[in-house]
Amino acid sequence: MTELAAPMAVRDATAPPPTARQHIRFAFFAVRPEWRLRGEQQRAHDRAEVVELIRDIDSRANVLLRTYSLVGTRGDADLMVWLVSDRVEDLHEFSSRLNRTAMGAFLESPYSYFAMTKQSMYVEKHEHANQEGRSNRLVIAPTNRRYLFVYPFVKTRAWYRLSRDERMRQMSEHIAMGHRYPGVKINTTYSFGLDDQEFVVAFESDSVADFLDLVQEMRESEASTHTVRDVPSFTCMLMTPEEALAAVG
């Protein structure tokens, strides 16, 4: 008996189009000391080659790339690249091409975090569609605030056994604390099954003190008792690629 082909799924023409979700990488780099022994012209050429790569990737549609310096705030990382794209292939290409640069031979990556955007179940009532009709939780929209504070985050398994209502209750307190610091903007991304952490959070602010006070206050929230890990923590300074690379030597 001849098998009948399964009918093709027909999409409801009245349904909204699927929402694009973004892939995010927070890539931290440390420059090996030997690089600083290269001649001044060699180092200038090395930096220019990396800047050209960054500019090329950043010029693409649906790609967002920001560079940050950690010189002076961390002893084990000098530079961070925040790369966001609808296509994971752009993240791969950036790293692959960076590896082939002259400076790439002198770069180490002590930390790297991979994540995606996802609609939060806790802040739905605060969401508004952007001009493209996509939720602003699904599209990273960085500000030009001076500092970015980044850390990976893991919750206890017991947290996920709580009812949705109970988690909402605890997170409402947590979110209310954040609203007391309007100068601090959070970008939450998700890593379940993609990387070692469950979330990566990135807070933008023009004030280091505001972020310190916010985190200290949030330690008192009930939801924070379900934290397994929220380190290492990075204080990053927004700079142009030229400025960030100049700071490493």
Q: Token pair for residue 119? A: 């609609």
pLDDT digits (tens, 9 = 90+) for 205-228: 999 999 999 999 999 999 999 999
C-alpha to C-alpha distances, 74 to 30, 31, 32, 124, 236, nearest whole angstrom: 10, 13, 15, 35, 9
- The pLDDT score that the predictor gives to residue 203 is 97
Residues 6+ apart with CB under 8 A from 247: 69, 71, 78, 239
Element (H, E) at 1: none
Highest mean pLDDT among 14-28, 37-51, 109-123, 133-147: 37-51
0.75 cut: is pTM over it?
yes
What are the structural domains, with CATH classification, of the chain? 20-249 (3.30.70.3420)
SS3 assignment, position 82: strand
Pairing of strands 234-239, 63-69: antiparallel
Which residue type occupies 189? T
What phi and psi, each to the nearest 5 degrees, are found at residue 170?
Answer: -70, -40
What mean pLDDT is reported for the chain?
A: 89
pLDDT digits (tens, 9 = 90+) for 158-211: 999 999 999 999 999 989 999 999 999 999 999 999 999 999 999 999 999 999
State yes or no: pLDDT of 102 exceeds 80: yes
